[in-house]
Amino acid sequence: MTEHIQYSAEKDALILLDQRYLPNREDWFECKTTDDICFALVVMVVRGAPAIGVTAAYGCYLAGREVQGMDGDWKANLEKKLDQIHDARPTAVNLRWAVREMRRIWKEAGDVSLEELLSIWLERAKVIHVDDIKMCEMIGKFGGELMDDGDTIMTHCNAGALATAGYGTALGVVRGAIDQGKKVSVIANETRPFLQGARLTAYELHKDGIPVKVACDNACALLMKRGLVDKVVVGADRITANGDAVNKIGTFGVAVLAERFGIPFYVAAPQYTIDIETPTGDDVPIEDRDPKEVTHIGDHRIPPEGVEVYNLAFDPTPNELIAGIITEKGVLYPPYTESIKKLFEEE
């Protein structure tokens, strides 16, 4: 599954499968402007850290296209557009990585025209797009080796093809195990309030013929106690320098339960999801989203009017609960401060 993020040269636009409406219908969202990109990121037309990074890379190119039609200093106008993309969502480090990468390329290119810069940027965005799929395939290879034939793998949120350019991180591990000839199945936690597990993980696994069952988030303890879970594999929106992993809200609780029942808990993410500039998970800004995602199902309100809610989108899982961090370069093991430092020194 790689068709959900497409650059159309004919339309000079980024075409995204609108994940708000899956699995009931497959609509497409067309991005031609910076506002389009930021809207797609904020309302989660596209979501998942690697997919956000790929989208942001194309977004920088589209921002440049937009600046072509503006009055004034194109460089100053473009910087403002890049800031807008950079700040669209606070938690996923891949978004900032993509914008910084485009700025780095701009700086290295020197005194080029806007037209020349756009050509360079578009090619770089395409490389980032293709490379993300390759990285996920390598994550799948290394992670698949950690899975045993017959395993039932629990995952939280959607860290599959839809959350990346294709193949997936956590679900890449599932696909990697299957590619290695192992029979595995998945328990997809529903992942309230946006239901990424029930809607998206179940959608793509079912579409690919991979056995999957959806479970209520609050069923994790009972399922683990009954021996129905062999491994837990999740993705991450940011991994800090000490190995803490920031992922969809509820991941921390799943990790605590996995430790209680002696179940290995793995995090799967590309190296560029590791933020060595941020010391711990407690230092990561946690997105507080629209309360309506919690208070409403469709147009129907559940809590009484006037009742406030929490809608924190992510939580940090402490490194001591993580059995291994699966990257495209291999599996990192504790102590993570040392293994992460070594990974970047080798890079």
User: Per the annotation, where are the binding residues?
Assistant: 47-49, 89, 196, 247-248
8 A C-beta contact, residue 287 and residue 88: no
DSSP for 102-156 reads: HHHHHHHH-S--HHHHHHHHHHHHHHHHHHHHHHHHHHHHHHHTTS-TT-EEEEE
Give 239's contacts (C-beta < 8 A, 6+ positions apart): 245, 246, 267, 269, 273, 274, 275, 325, 340
Question: Can you give the C-alpha Rg of the chain in angstroms?
Answer: 20
- Angular region, 241: left φ>0, alpha ψ -120 to 50, beta rest: alpha
> Hey, what amino acid is at 252?
F
Distance in angstroms (rounded) separating the CA atoms of residues 311 and 240: 22
8 A C-beta contact, residue 29 and residue 73: no
Q: How far is CA 312 from CA 18, 40, 101, 217, 283, in A?
A: 22, 19, 28, 16, 15
Distance in angstroms (rounded) separating the CA atoms of residues 190 and 202: 9
Distance in angstroms (rounded) separating the CA atoms of residues 91 and 42: 12
DSSP designation for 288: B
Distance in angstroms (rounded) separating the CA atoms of residues 4 and 77: 30
Burial letters 235-249, b for 16+ CB under 10 A, else e: bbbbbbbbbbbbbbb
Is 237 known to be catalytic?
Answer: yes
> Which one from 230, 237, 275, 315 is the annotated catalytic residue?
237
CB atoms within 10 A of CB 231: 23
Residue numbers in the known binding site for substrate are 47-49, 89, 196, 247-248
CA 191 to chain centre: 14
Any idea which residues carry the catalytic annotation?
A: 237
